[in-house]
Amino acid sequence: MADAEFSASGVRIERFTRSLTRAGQVVVKDGRLSLLMSNGREIDSAPVGTVSAGKRWFFAADSAIARVNGVRYRLTMEQRNRRRDGAAPLRRFLEALRSAGGRRG
């Protein structure tokens, strides 16, 4: 199975109601998901096979929930990070997780 690659910066990462960073990074590389602070320090990481992520109907269009090592994180990826082909970063993130073996949830 080929490893999916994804990286987004300027991501707001929240744990429950506490904001951890407004300029974090989400990276899917070599079969691992990493949540990073703006200075590159790791918040959390796990193999994508153990990560579940999904979009909730009551969240904004650019937000999703990811469960990493049993902890729920709310990830908000701004629409300004769109690629030229129009693919939204949140959709690319969910596709990268799914193709790398992550769970939908």
CATH number for the domain including 30?
2.30.29.30
pLDDT tens per residue across span 53-100: 988 877 777 889 999 999 999 999 876 555 554 458 888 888 888 887
Whether 65 is covered by a domain: the verdict is yes
C-beta separation of 64 from 56 below 8 A: yes
Q: Judge if pTM exceeds 0.85.
A: no
Range of the domain at 65: 6-104
What is the Cα–Cα distance from 101 to 88, expressed in whole angstroms?
20
What is the Cα–Cα distance from 96 to 89, expressed in whole angstroms?
10
Whether 1 is covered by a domain: the verdict is no
The pLDDT assigned to 105 comes to 59
C-beta separation of 38 from 97 below 8 A: no
Domain count, the chain: 1
* DSSP state letter for 22: E
